[in-house]
Chain A
Amino acid sequence: MIFVAVGTQFPFDRLIRCVDEWAASTGQSVVAQIATGEYEPSHADWERFMATDTFNRHLAAADLIISHAGMGNIITALEHRKPIIVMNRQHELGEHRNNHQADGLAWMGRLPGVYTARNCEALRRLLARMTELKPADAITTARRQRLIDFIDRAIGT
Chain B
Amino acid sequence: MSRKARLFAISSPGGHWIQLTRLCAGLEQRYDIVYAMPDRHFQSRQSQKVYAVTDVSADDKWRLIPCALQVLWILLKERPQAILSTGAAPGVVAILLGRLLGIRTIWVDSIANVQKISRSGELVRHRADVFLTQWEHLSDGGQVQYQGSVL
Residues of chain A touching chain B, judged by Cβ–Cβ distance below 8 Å, are 7-9, 49-53, 70-76, 78, 97-98, 100-101, 103-104, 107, 111, 139-140, 143-152, 154-156
How many residues does chain B have at the interface if contact means C-beta atoms less than 8 Å apart?
45
Which one of A70, A71, A103 has the highest number of Cβ atoms from chain B below 10 Å of its Cβ? Answer: A71
Residues B18 and A151 in contact, CB atoms below 8 Å apart: no
Beyond known contacts A49-B41, A100-B113: 19 more, CB 8 A cutoff: A8-B13, A8-B39, A71-B18, A71-B19, A72-B15, A72-B18, A75-B22, A97-B58, A98-B119, A103-B115, A111-B151, A143-B150, A144-B149, A144-B151, A149-B148, A154-B106, A155-B5, A155-B31, A155-B106
CB distance B30 to A152 under 8 Å?
A: yes
B95 at the interface (CB under 8 A from A): no
Contact partner of B23 (CB less than 8 A), chosen from A7, A111, A151, is A151
Q: How far is the CB of B44 from chain A (nearest CB, A)?
A: 9
In-complex Cβ contact of B27 among A53, A70, A71, A148 (8 A): A148
Name the 6 nearest CB pairs between A and B, nearest first: A147-B148, A146-B148, A71-B15, A148-B26, A72-B15, A150-B147
Smallest Cβ-Cβ distance to B40: which chain A residue:
A49
A148 to B132, CA, bound (A): 12
Chain A neighbourhood of B147, CB < 8 A? 146-147, 150-151
Which chain B positions have C-beta within 8 A of A70? 14-15, 112
B96 at the interface (CB under 8 A from A): no
B7 at the interface (CB under 8 A from A): yes
**Is B59 in the interface zone, CB < 8 Å from A?**
yes
